[in-house]
Amino acid sequence: MGKSRFDLTGKVAMVSGANDGIGQGIAVGLAEAGADIVALHRSDITATKEMVSGLGRRFLSIPCDLSDIDSIPGIVKKALESFDEIDILANCAGAIYRESVLKYSVEDWDRVVDLNMKSLFFMSQAVANSMVERKIKGKIINIASLMSYQGGIRVAAYAASKGGVRTLTMEMSNELGELGINVNALAPGYVATKMTTALREDPVRADEILGRIPLHRWAKPEDFKGPAVFLASEASDYINGVTIPVDGGWLAR
């Protein structure tokens, strides 16, 4: 039997926000498919490291603050010093802040937009340059959101940034596709992570949300393993510039 088109053996994947939530799920999923992992994180990375190392994959931890754009070249340089190349980039780091449109501050707007969109673009730029220099047919996976399609409530900066991620994914795919780099995104629905703790603890909102999801459950970080492996592998070589909802059917309702 030949090699599976989903096999990532020998590939190196850089995953931001890999310490927990969707980023952790994607990092472990890519490792399960054979990839070595460069984990970018701000919080404790021990759990992710143990899961990836337990699969026999190489693991490099790079603590960093991606909102500091000037740090990005150094982050990529450090990864390349250890692994020589980066084949896959999964931009999973993100932030949300809930506040009324009437009260949203400049500081909170900048904090969310800078991390969710600005750092994603410049990290993608740095990694794409490394791919082009090494003639690598790479894969970039962005994390968009349901808010890339809907406005939401009390999440102005998050909605704006995630709408931007979706259109940036299309724009980058137009420029990078001819260079052998596929750029796509996943759009999570409601996921049981730290980011949604307040929603899940609100009995009214939690019931409203669950009642609209046809699969009748919140997503888990593990639900992003398969979609991420697909977009990172040869199986998606002719998929470019698309955003795939991973929402349990929310948008179909």
Nearest Cα neighbor of 164 from 145, 182, 178 is 145
Residue 7: exposure state from Cβ atoms within 10 A (0-12, 13-18, ≥19): middle
Chain-centroid distance of CA 97 in Å reads 18
For CA atoms 101, 119, 163, 228, give the dihedral sign.
Answer: negative
The one-character DSSP state at 154 is S
Active site residue 158: yes
Token pair recorded at residue 252: 């179909």
Strand ranges of the sheet holding 12-16, from the earlier edge strand across to the other edge: 59-63, 36-41, 12-16, 88-91, 139-143, 182-188, 243-246
Closest by CA to 48, choosing from 57, 39, 58, 36, is 39
**Cα–Cα distance between 138 and 128 in angstroms, integer?**
8
Dihedral sign (CA 216, 243, 197, 22): positive
97, 104, 149, 158: which one is catalytic?
158
Cβ atoms of 100 and 154 within 8 Å: the answer is: yes
Active site residues: 158
